[in-house]
């Protein structure tokens, strides 16, 4: 009986550590998205501050390509929308992983208590 | 008591530290440790950014109409330079992020860097206040852990002896 529970615990622990790894990855991804959004925000503000006839270039590979200010602004806004959507998705993902972690932790605690009971009996 | 120093910040719910057990306290402490490292790292990054913007601002100051046509050495790589001359002293190109570059006149560039420096300084201040708040909570938790630990030791003594 004890061995069975220990085996179960081992399995649960492995699952938990896997989810924790995923969780850390998801959080790191979200942080990256956050910083991208912030950068885009700053760029948008800067573009809006520019005069209408200001020259704007975009770095594509090693060359600077001239861009229309209006186009550039629209592009940045579109990208911000996309990143926001991605952040929402990442948030959901993180939330789901958190729930999974909690459930596993509870299971583990239960198993621990069972194990202790058995030990006391024995 | 220790809980007094953990003044609740807006959006943070207050937890009575004395009600938590040692394990929970240790977990909380670990999380705070992590958060404080993140703050330290961001502060460090911001400091670097601040320095870079300051430096760029100073460089712009050096470009005056007098410098037109003067020869300069343009770095092609970190260790190789080719001679060049400044043909336009009125406009500079500024990397405004995400691969976009904007042409600005000298005044505009100065203004840009001034704004950026102010922005970064503001962020640094924010993080500093947040960090000191966290370290206060951290101290309170450490004290609580100490107290609980000692209480446990004392409670455990009569049994042991």
pLDDT tens for residues B28-42? Answer: 999 999 999 999 999
Contact (Cβ atoms closer than 8 angstroms) between residue B50 and residue B120: yes
Fold of B36-135: Helix Hairpins (1.10.287)
- Give the C-alpha separation, A4 to B135, whole Å: 44
Q: Please list, residue by residue across B90-115, b when 16 or more beta carbons sit within 10 angstroms of its beta carbon and e when fewer do.
A: eebebebbbebbbbbebebbbebbee
Rg (CA), chain A: 25
pLDDT, mean of residues A16-34: 95
Per-residue pLDDT of chain B (161 residues; tens, 9 = 90+): 333 334 444 445 567 777 888 888 998 999 999 999 999 999 999 999 999 999 999 999 999 999 999 999 999 999 999 999 999 999 999 999 999 999 999 999 999 999 999 999 999 999 999 999 999 999 999 999 999 999 989 887 665 44
pLDDT of residue B160: 45
Q: Measured between alpha carbons, how far is B68 from B90 in angstroms, rounded to an integer?
A: 9
Q: Report whether pLDDT(A90) > 60.
A: yes
pLDDT of residue B17: 78
Tokens of B155: 């409670």
Closest-CA residue of chain B to A62 = B99
pLDDT digits 0-9 by tens, B68-87: 999 999 999 999 999 999 99
CATH topology of domain A2-121: Helix Hairpins (1.10.287)
C-alpha dihedral, B63 to B68 to B71 to B75, nearest 10°: 40
Residue A86 confidence (pLDDT) above 80? yes
- Residue-level pLDDT at B156: 78
Half-sphere exposure of B55 (CA within 13 A, CB side): 6
B112 contacts A59? CB cut-off 8 A: no
CB contact under 8 A, B101 and A50: no
Residue range A26-36: mean pLDDT, rounded = 96
Q: CA B71 to CA B63: how far, in whole Å?
A: 13
Spell out where A1-122 has E strands.
56-60, 63-67
Residues of B in contact with A43 (CB under 8 A): 96-98, 100
- In the sheet with A63-67, reading across from the earlier edge strand, the strands are A63-67, A56-60, B100-105, B91-97
Nearest to B103 among A43, A55, A72 (CB): A55
- Give the residue extent of every domain in chain B: 36-135
8 A C-beta contact, residue B137 and residue B15: no
């Amino acid at each position: 009986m004890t061995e069975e529970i220990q085996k179960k615990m081992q399995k649960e622990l492995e699952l938990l550590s896997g989810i924790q790894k995923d969780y850390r990855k998801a959080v790191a991804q979200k942080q990256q998205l956050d910083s991208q959004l912030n950068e885009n925000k700053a760029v948008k503000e800067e573009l809006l501050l520019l005069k209408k006839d200001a020259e704007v270039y975009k770095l594509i590979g090693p060359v600077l390509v001239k861009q229309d200010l209006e186009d550039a602004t629209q592009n940045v806004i579109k990208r911000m929308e996309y990143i926001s959507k991605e952040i929402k998705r990442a948030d959901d993902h993180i939330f789901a992983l958190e729930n999974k972690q909690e459930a596993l932790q509870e299971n583990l605690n239960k198993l621990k208590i069972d194990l202790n009971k058995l030990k006391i009996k024995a | 008591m220790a809980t007094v120093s953990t003044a609740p910040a807006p959006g943070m719910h207050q937890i009575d530290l004395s009600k938590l057990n040692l394990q929970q306290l240790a977990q909380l402490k670990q999380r705070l440790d992590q958060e404080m490292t993140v703050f330290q790292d961001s502060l460090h990054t911001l400091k670097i950014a601040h320095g870079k913007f300051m430096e760029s601002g100073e460089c712009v100051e050096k470009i005056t109409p007098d410098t037109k046509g003067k020869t300069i050495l343009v770095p092609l790589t970190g260790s190789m330079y080719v001679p060049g001359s400044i043909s336009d002293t009125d406009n500079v190109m500024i990397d405004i992020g995400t691969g976009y570059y904007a042409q600005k006149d000298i005044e505009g560039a100065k203004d840009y860097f001034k704004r950026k420096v102010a922005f970064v300084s503001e962020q640094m201040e924010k993080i500093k206040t947040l960090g000191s708040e966290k370290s206060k909570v951290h101290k309170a938790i450490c004290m609580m852990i100490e107290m609980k630990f000692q209480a446990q030791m004392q409670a455990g003594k009569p049994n042991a002896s």
